[in-house]
Amino acid sequence: MLLELRDTSKRYGDMVVIPKLSLSVEDGEFIGVIGPNGAGKSTMFGLISGSTACDSGSVFLDGKDITSFDAAERCKAGIGRTFQIPQPFEGMTAFENALVAATFGNGRHGHAAQAAAVDAIEGCGLEAVADKLAGTLTLLQRKRLELARALATRPRLLLLDEVAGGLTDDEMQQLLQLIVTIHQGGVTILWIEHLVHALVSAADRLVVLASGAVICDGDPKTVMADQMVRDTYLGSDIEEELDHAAH
């Protein structure tokens, strides 16, 4: 098993966002994560990546207890992530952004950092704009750069937090293809996305969170047809997406 959350919990003041969450991820899986707004999806990513400390419970990577590791240590251990709002250094080039990630995210220096940055830029199809300032890139290029920055840390597990937001259908397909290619390259993927049909086309497992708990977990088609999942989304925009994805 690559990742295991064991009875993890998180509260903010009086609000319990994650009461007691357990999740196992096998090496090589491609898992989509869905759930209503406020379900605790990003918080769960925080617990995995170390940007949020759990109040109780444990996190294991490759059987090793990493609960006490901070975000930098978890990145070095092989957990990479993207953020809902891309946060590149706008005044640096795309390549420099990848190099910073390789250097400070994973503690690589010199040739090793350069090689990781080159691989990430090429792997994400950014060669033509590698020397452009990040602040001048198009939205799709910024999304690609967000992936490149994560890949430059050479993750084994990649957490994608709504990386496709704001893209047109055509751009979404291009990004989806890139993520599938990254997965085929051996990276385990956990991907939060409200665009359920995109997730279903790529993921081999779908996890549904509601009120900080896993309410359904399994192959995407079965999960989409699950009555509790449908009830959770009743009346929301996603209900239509479920119909679309289930057929």
Give the binding site for ligand ATP (CB under 6 A). Answer: 12, 17, 35, 37-43
User: How near is the Cβ of 12 to ligand ATP at its closest, in Å?
Assistant: 4
Buried b (16+ CB within 10 A) or exposed e, 81-100: bbbeebebeeeebbbbbbbb
Beta strands in 112-204 (DSSP E): 157-161, 188-192
User: How near is the Cβ of 9 to ligand ATP at its closest, in Å?
Assistant: 13
Closer CB to ligand ATP, 34 or 117, in the complex: 34
Per DSSP, 103 falls in state I
Closer CB to ligand ATP, 39 or 79, in the complex: 39
User: How near is the Cβ of 242 to ligand ATP at its closest, in Å?
Assistant: 16
> How far is CA 22 from each of CA 45, 59, 65, 126, rounded to the nearest angstrom?
13, 9, 14, 37
How far apart are the C-alpha atoms of 230 and 242, rounded to whole Å?
8
Beta bridge partners of 25: 3
Q: Which helix (H) or strand (E) holds 58?
A: strand 56-61
Beta carbons within 8 Å of 173's beta carbon, 6+ residues apart = none
Closer CB to ligand ATP, 94 or 196, in the complex: 196
Closer CB to ligand ATP, 37 or 227, in the complex: 37
User: How near is the Cβ of 64 to ligand ATP at its closest, in Å?
Assistant: 25
Closer CB to ligand ATP, 43 or 188, in the complex: 43
User: How near is the Cβ of 15 to ligand ATP at its closest, in Å?
Assistant: 6
